Structure 1
Amino acid sequence: MTSLWLDGDRAIPVDDFVPDASYDTVVVGAGITGLATALLLARSGMTVAVLEARSVGAGTTGNTTAKLSLLQGTVLSTLRGQYSQKTVNAYVEANKEGQAWLLRLLEERAVPFQRRDAYTFAVTDAGTDRIRAELAVGKAAGLAVEEAAGDAGLPFSTRSAIRLPDQAQFNPMDVLEALASDFRAHGGVLVEGVRVRGISTGRDGAVRTDAGDVHARRTVLATGIPILDRGLYFAKLKASQSYAAAFRVPASTSIPLGMYLSAETPGRSLRTHPNGREELLIAGGNGHQVGREPSPKARLEELLNWTRHNFPGAEPTNTWSGEDYQATNLMPFFGKMPRGGGKVFFATGYNKWGMSNSIAASLAITAEILGGDLPWANVLHHRITSPAGAAAAVALNADTVKAMAEGWAKAETAEPETETRTVPGEGAGTIVRRGRKPVAVSTVDGVTCRVSAVCTHLRGILSWNDAEKTWDCPLHGSRFTPAGEVLQGPTTERLPAAD
């Protein structure tokens, strides 16, 4: 599975890693948060290096649906259920500022994007209630949100819909390419293929990588979920995986030129993308908690079938998935990391709306480093977790403990490896026992791999993802290739081979 955005031979220029080099700031992660933060700091005159474990955009940014919208499904009304209108207004202002900054960059750098109206639609009475609440809260926050007429241009019946005009969509890799180019033009160093393993907050400011140490006065973690356990943010975030597909649609089938999201579950997301003379349809949704779904492939297939049903003749060109993180208190986290000595900054918890929240976080982190002041950031920093947010955190961690216990119970009763006479079929993975050690065995592209079935973060038992052909941790969302290489954190350590 390869996203539409990552499919191709795009080459973003990068730099060599120089061990023992010193910088004012090291940014870990080359997605939109990392590159935007790095660019802002480099423009201020700082020496900045970005260290990316894989490649630019390989994480969430390159696997998103890339909607830059202030109408975000029913996010605002959900937030209003836990926070004051003042706090919700601050969230909207943060996203407005992030959206405006990114649109200016795209215009200045001549990066293609399309202005589109954003819609939230409902197909049930319960969804209509949510839309009414979203309309009220959006208006109270100063957004020009309005009721949409009829079926909002969709080819199926809806109960209700709301619209926010003049939002935007784009190819996220075009955005990253522009950010990287501007960053390097300001003296920034961009390195791929170097994984950060740890950070020292001592006098030497060592950033420890698998290729040697570098040194920095401060470090910014832009890794989706923090790769450091200080602050225990892994216990405050729910890792979810959603699916997307790009479709060619015959001329006889009309497709709506807007950005759509359903108010109900399973989520349904729609947008288009210009591809030469044709307009591709991008459908997304069917999310679930990472590592908890028996068959992610079935989730993807259900999304494909739904799209084919509603858009006759549609055939997929690309399928992919993206991993996102939702905070138990529903608000993004950004700023200084606890127990970081004032030298470690981070951002996480965008709840699938990273195109604007990421820039907002970058602006806030940069302001904090440079001594600026952003009123909306001050409000968000001083928010108080509601009883509902606290209860969500308790429930999330109770589920995590349950997943840990269930995983080990299954592993201890797995078939002994000595009795296994065959390897898994193509595209399959299974867990067996070698003595008391659980072993993850899979076969992909004709190659059978045997690695430890124990996550290197906090020892959860991994589960096989039959859509992406990966080993996924049901505790905090770490994901690995069949050979054990890290795809996404919070872990930074690969799975040891079992051979």
Structure 2
Amino acid sequence: MTPTPDPFPDDDRFDDVVVGAGITGLTVGLMLARAGRRVGVVEARRVGSGTTGRTTGKLSLLQGTRLSQILSAQSRGVAEAYVDANREGMEWLLGFCAEHDVPVQTRDAVTYASADDELASVCEEHEAAGSLGLDVRWTDGLDVPFPLVGATVLADQAQFDPMDVLGALATQLRGHGGAVHEGRRVMGVSGRGTPEITLDDGRVLRAENVVLATGVPTLDRGLYFAKVEPKRSYLLAFEGVEPPPAMYISAAASSRSIRGVPGDATTGPRLLVGGAGHVVGRTESELTRIHELREWTAHHFDGAVETHAWSAQDYASHDGIPFVGTLPRGGGHIYLATGYDKWGLTNGVAAARTIAGQILGSTPSWAKVLGRRITRPRGAVRIASLNVGVGLAATRSLVRAEASTAHTPAADGVGAVGRDGVLPVGTSTLEGRTCSVVALCTHLGGALRWNDAEKSWDCPLHGSRFSASGEVLEGPATKALAQRDVPPEA
């Protein structure tokens, strides 16, 4: 789909510029536009082309084993504020969907153990959820076709197609005087009193406030790229089987996320199976991860026929709590939101509520508690371990590039990294076109890896991703990869 950007105002001035047209960006944009402010949302690709448009579409306060994770790293007050924030996010979004006729299905949310060695973590989540006021119930078994030896269940949660929600948000934003500028990438933000936003075509916008709602901030102030871990996971859609009646997520290290999609007049119901996640750029084969999901589904859902496959990327904080608020060295006028760890539908709306409240002078009480959370020793160790992992990934990537001398992939759809002097060079062939790029991330110079499922160059340091020809796909990087001449033998 070709982006259809709204025109910029003649003076290129806004009250607020929001970077990113996912759940956070469009929601905060709408909240500010409803308050009578002049708002522009700038999106590098299209509405929903990032994380939100690729999620499983679960809207739930029971989020895998998140609550027990938070209680192990933070105070009870912080955990209670997290639940309050997500509850407000859920209620706001359900109210919005009801008001604007966005289809929503009510479902139970289930966190389950697929084997005995997962029971302890599910029991901990059940106890944590109950202690934080969620009306969970325990069951030793459910009538499902996959292994389940115990589960905690929360009734009356919800699911929907996230693209339906994003479309309605964009429509309402425009209806309240806001604009959505698709196909424009923000390259940098400067200034303190009145930030200046530079776009990829050289245009400069001016605004009182800038909101970075881009998965991870594209500005390095505050070093948030070093405080979160980029994670990629996969989702497959199947037809030909009856999906189980609830929304499920396992407590396994390689989790399984399962839910159904209602049928319509022309199609029957579909089954969504997700999981097999990993840190971006740190797996030997992304295709192998997808095959894991296919094999698992074939084993437990006889007759399932795959119709679609896609993936999504999100960022996890060290303690399970998103980072939301003002960016350091931004003069109090640059805001960020990151670290949802795959639960962005509730957290994204809560982040929007926080940022809009800070701009409009009505910050929620729970946002103040979350904003004052303290990094405890365990959290500091976790941040350190994240960056040790980055260091190891950097070393391994350089060794891999040094060991390889291949510059020309042998088959279509294959990429390889070799050396041209001291530079690692990535060469790939897609649909008969061979491209060579300098295989160094334009963010902090990480040596890139070829993603064999999505045919992209991925950075194992902080999760930036580039197309085969070098264009930025996502992550903290904003500049494309440098092109290299294709070797004559290619």
Question: Contact 1:56 / 1:176 at 8 angstroms: preserved in 2?
Answer: yes
Distance between the aligned counterparts of 1:302 and 1:177, measured in 2? 32
Describe the superposition over 1:81-111 as per-residue Cα deviations: whole angstroms up to 9, x where unpaired.
Answer: 1112221111000000000000000000000
* C-alpha separation in 1, matches of 2:188 and 2:3: 26
1:213 aligns with 2:199: no
Q: Residues 33 and 304 from structure 1, CA distance in 2 versus in 1: closer, same or farther, beyond 3 angstroms?
A: same
Among 81, 85, 90, the alignment partner of 2:72 is: 81
1:139 aligns to 2:130 (yes or no): yes
Partner of 1:449: 435
For residue 381 of structure 1, the aligned residue among 371, 374, 377 is 371
Residue 420 of structure 2 is aligned to residue 434 of structure 1: yes
Code of the residue aligned with 2:426 in structure 1: it is: A
Identity of aligned residues (%): 48
**Cα deviations by residue, 1:350-381 (Å, 9 ceiling, x for unpaired):** 01100100000000111111111311111111
CA-CA distance at 1:72 after TM superposition: 0.4
| SS of corresponding position for 1:301 | helix
Determine the C-alpha separation between the residues in 1 that align with 2:177 and 2:480: 32
Q: Which residue of 2 aligns with 1:110?
A: 101
Cα displacement (A) at 1:413 = 3.5
Give the Cα–Cα distance (whole angstroms) in 1 for the partners of residues 23 and 458 of structure 2: 24
Equivalent-residue separation in structure 2 for 1:161 and 1:371 (angstroms) = 42
Query: SS in structure 2 opposite 1:71?
Result: coil
| Deviation string, structure 1 residues 116-137 (Cα, Å, up to 9, x no partner) | 1100110222311111111111
Could you tell me how far 1:452 is from its partner in structure 2?
0.9
Once superposed, what is the RMSD of the aligned Cα atoms? 1.4
Shift of 1:149: 5.5
Could you tell me how far 1:199 is from its partner in structure 2? 0.6
- Which sits farther off after the overlay, 433-442 or 212-221? 433-442
Query: 5+ residue gaps in structure 1?
Result: 1-8
| CA distance in 1: counterparts of 2:147 and 2:399, whole angstroms | 46
In 2, the alpha carbon distance for the partners of 1:163 and 1:171 equals 22
Match of 2:488 in 1: none
- Alpha-carbon separation, structure 1, partners of 2:426 and 2:400: 13
Question: Does residue 343 of the first structure (1) align with residue 315 of the second (2)?
Answer: no
> C-alpha displacement at 1:204, in angstroms?
4.4
Give the match for residue 496 of structure 1: 482
Report how many aligned residue pairs link the two structures.
482
| 1:303-452 alignment, distance < 5 Å | 303-415=293-405, 417=407, 422-452=408-438
Q: Cα distance, 1:275 vs. partner?
A: 3.4
Aligned-residue offset at 1:69? 0.3
Q: Choose from 224, 243, 263 the match for 2:215.
A: 224
Deviation at 1:409, TM superposition (A): 2.6
Secondary structure of 1:81's counterpart equals helix
Counterparts in 2 of 1:141 and 1:37: CA distance versus 1, 3 Å:
same
Sort the Cα spacing of 1:13 and 1:273 in 2 relative to 1 into closer, same or farther, 3 A. farther
1:412: how far off?
2.9
Answer yes or no: is the 8 Å Cα contact 1:462–1:474 preserved in 2.
yes
- Which residue is equivalent to 1:242? 233
Q: TM-score, normalised by structure 2?
A: 0.96
Letter in 1 for 2:165: V
Q: What TM-score do the two structures reach when normalised by structure 1?
A: 0.94
| SS, match of residue 76 in structure 1 | helix
Which residue number in structure 2 is paired with residue 267 of structure 1?
255
Please state how far the C-alpha of 1:230 moved relative to its aligned partner: 0.2
| Residue identity matched to 1:143 | L
Q: 2:448 aligns with which of 457, 462, 465?
A: 462
Q: Could you tell me how far apart the structure 1 residues matched to 2:140 and 2:124 are?
A: 18
For 1:24 and 1:240, the matched residues in 2 are separated by 33
2: CA distance between counterparts of 1:25 and 1:402?
A: 40
What whole-Å deviation, never above 9, does each CA across 1:249-291 have from its counterpart, x for those lacking one?
Answer: 24xxx42121000011210000111232411000000000000
| C-alpha spacing 1:118/1:416, structure 2 compared with 1 (3 Å) | closer
Instruction: Give the gaps of 5 or more residues in structure 2.
Output: 486-490
User: Contact 2:3 / 2:183 at 8 angstroms: preserved in 1?
Assistant: no
CA shift digits 1:118-177 (9 cap, x unpaired)? 0011022231111111111111111111113522x3113321011100100000000000
Aligned to 1:50: 41
Q: Which structure 1 residue ranges, 4+ long, deviate > 6 Å from structure 2?
A: none
- Displacement of 1:237 after TM fit? 0.6
The correspondence for 1:174, drawn from 164, 170, 176, is 164
Which residue is 2:467 aligned to?
481
Describe the shift of the 1:18–1:454 C-alpha distance in structure 2 as closer, same or farther (beyond 3 A). Answer: farther
CA distance in 1: counterparts of 2:163 and 2:263, whole angstroms: 14
Question: 2:320 and 2:153 mapped to 1: Cα distance?
Answer: 23
The 1:242/1:416 distance shift into structure 2, 3 A limit, reads closer
Match of 1:155, SS state, is coil
Looking at structure 1, the residues matched to 156 and 484 of structure 2 have their Cα atoms a distance apart, in angstroms, of 54
In structure 2, C-alpha distance between the alignment counterparts of 1:118 and 1:416, rounded to whole Å:
48
Tell me the SS of whatever aligns to 2:342.
coil
1:189 Cα deviation from its structure 2 partner: 1.0
| Aligned mates of 1:20, 1:456 — CA distance in 2 | 32
Q: 1:203–1:131: structure 2 CA closer, same or farther, 3 Å change rule?
A: closer
Separation in structure 1 between the aligned mates of residue 140 and residue 5 of structure 2, nearest angstrom? 48
| Structure 2 counterpart SS, 1:131 | helix
Match of 1:30 in 2: 21
> 3-state DSSP class of the match of 1:275?
coil
One-letter amino acid of the counterpart of residue 116, structure 2: D
**What displacement does 1:18 show?**
5.0
